[in-house]
Amino acid sequence: MEPKPVEASDREELRELQSERLRETVAHAYENVPFYRETLDEMGLSPDDIDGVEDITKLPMTRKEDFRDEYPDGLFAVDDEEVARIHASSGTTGKPKIVSYTDDDLDVWSEVVARSLAASGAEEGGTVQNAYGYGLFTGGLGLHYGVEELGATVIPVGSGGTQRQVELMTDLESDVFTCTPSYALYLAETAEEMGYDPRELPISTIIFGAEPCTDPMREEIEERLDVDGIDIYGLSEIIGPGVSCECHEAQNGLHIWEDHFYPEVVDPRTGEPVEEGEEGELVLTTLTKEALPVLRYRTGDLTTLNYEECECGRTMVRMDNVTGRADDLLIVRGVNLYPSEIEHVVLDIDGVAPHYRIDLDKENNLDVMELTIECEEDLDRSKQSLEKEIAERLSNVLQFTPDELNLVDHGEIGRSEVGKVQRVYDHRN
Ligand code: DLL
């Protein structure tokens, strides 16, 4: 499907629209959210000081802790009667972040997810099988209403029940499957165990998100299931899935729907904007949210913005796929490492299956890291040679060798059918 006109806006016109919406958002937040009013007052800033997006860096940043401190509804900008829906995002610790939507917010959400689906190649009249969890998690219902908005058929299976997923997609000829990247691999394994050839399943596109997916992992998904793997990104605090999505034409960066979300990239240590094209932490401002306007939200996600024209015709900026978060950084005996860097090196090696876990511990006050990796089912080389290659590559590329490297057989690392995959287990505290 052709992009909607707004997706291919003239960038000057887009900037004007963003500026107008930013002014409205700041005024709305100031008038209706005591947290923002107090913060702006303390900074000696009035909404009138914000003329347009060029002034955005004057505004305060919002952090995850602010959601926790204002739990449950301190950041809401509308009365209870106007809230049409609540979702929540659970962190590993503490209270969940509660997020809310008015009817208009839900319309915007459906619209941006429908755009994402269209960008992925999904079509009106097609069939989308949705395997994101329904409930407080934004994945299930977020995708669901986007599919309806697109005019496709949604099969609301939700997460888990993998054999049933396989049977349903075969019987109902689903074209598109939506799930986390780790679940896409689990689907392939389950289909194989059931006697299907995963490449022969009817789905031609998998729209994956909610957790990081490195390039080798994406290749594995595309190869094993013979699909286009399309990355969709989003977070509850901003709206849910549908902040940005790849187009199937380029599959090279996720178009951010900039008429609703204003992106910046900052240095995660200082919060200062980075040079254009440099990597840093994504900061997002909502431009149209009513129930929960959010100014300059520190997402924690690391990315780069690319303003070059895209072959699909969309002019909206592309963000690099997110393979790490600023707080994912592992510091092991002073060496800084991201789990995604390890994944990148390891999954590129022949014989390695895309399942691994990292365990961190302390021994005699020293950090120790144990890396456990699964071998492919039909491993056609010796485990010793594989182990040697993994250790050498890690040492060459990352100047790092795990204290313990375990190669285990296919299926030995637990799979999770629901929720987000966990690969790092830090037992140090
Ligand atoms: O995960 C929303 C979502 C649902 C996105 C379904 C895509 C598909 P939260 O549970 O609030 O919302 O988690 C948001 O998940 O800050 C990222 O760290 C991570 N994340 C989301 N999408 C991606 C992605 C949903 N495509 C947090 N790649 C975000 C990497 C992602 N990380």
Q: Which of 38-52, 90-104, 320-334 has the highest mean pLDDT?
A: 38-52
Which helix (H) or strand (E) segment is 141 a member of? helix 138-150
Average pLDDT over the chain reads: 96
Query: Cα–Cα distance between 71 and 93 in angstroms, integer?
Result: 14
Residue 403 has pLDDT above 70, yes or no: yes
At 417 the three-state DSSP class reads: coil
Q: Looking at ligand 1, which atom is closest to the CA of residue 231?
A: 26
Domain-wise residue ranges, the chain: 1-325, 329-426
Q: Whose CA is nearest to atom 18 of ligand 1?
A: 301
Residue pair 328/293 in contact (Cβ under 8 Å)? The answer is no
The CATH code for residues 329-426 is 3.30.300.30
Residue 152 has pLDDT above 90, yes or no: yes
Q: Looking at ligand 1, which atom is closest to the CA of residue 254?
A: 26
> pTM value?
0.95
- Long-range contacts formed by 102-109: CB under 8 A, 24+ apart: 102/78, 102/290, 102/291, 104/288, 104/290, 105/239, 105/288, 105/289, 105/290, 105/291, 105/292, 106/145, 108/239, 108/260, 108/288, 108/289, 109/142, 109/145, 109/146, 109/239, 109/240, 109/242
Tens of pLDDT, residue by residue over 292-321, are: 999 999 999 999 999 999 999 999 999 999
| Ligand 1 near 217 CB (within 6 A) | no
Share of the chain above pLDDT 70, in %: 99
Q: Whose CA is nearest to atom 10 of ligand 1?
A: 89
Least confident of 60-64, 88-92, 117-121, 167-171: 88-92
Contacts of 191 (CB under 8 A, 6+ apart): 166, 197, 198, 201
Residue 134 has pLDDT above 90, yes or no: yes
**Which pLDDT band, with edges at 50, 70 and 90, does 92 fall under?**
low
Tens of pLDDT, residue by residue over 205-243, are: 999 999 999 999 999 999 999 999 999 999 999 999 999
Q: What class is the 1-325 domain?
A: alpha beta
Tens of pLDDT, residue by residue over 372-397, are: 999 999 999 999 999 999 999 999 99
Nearest alpha carbon to residue 347 among 227, 221, 183, 180? 221
| Ligand 1 near 111 CB (within 6 A) | no
**Which pLDDT band, with edges at 50, 70 and 90, does 62 fall under?**
very high
| Ligand 1 near 130 CB (within 6 A) | no
Place of tokens 């040697």: 388
Predicted confidence at residue 334, as pLDDT, reads 84
| Ligand 1 near 139 CB (within 6 A) | yes
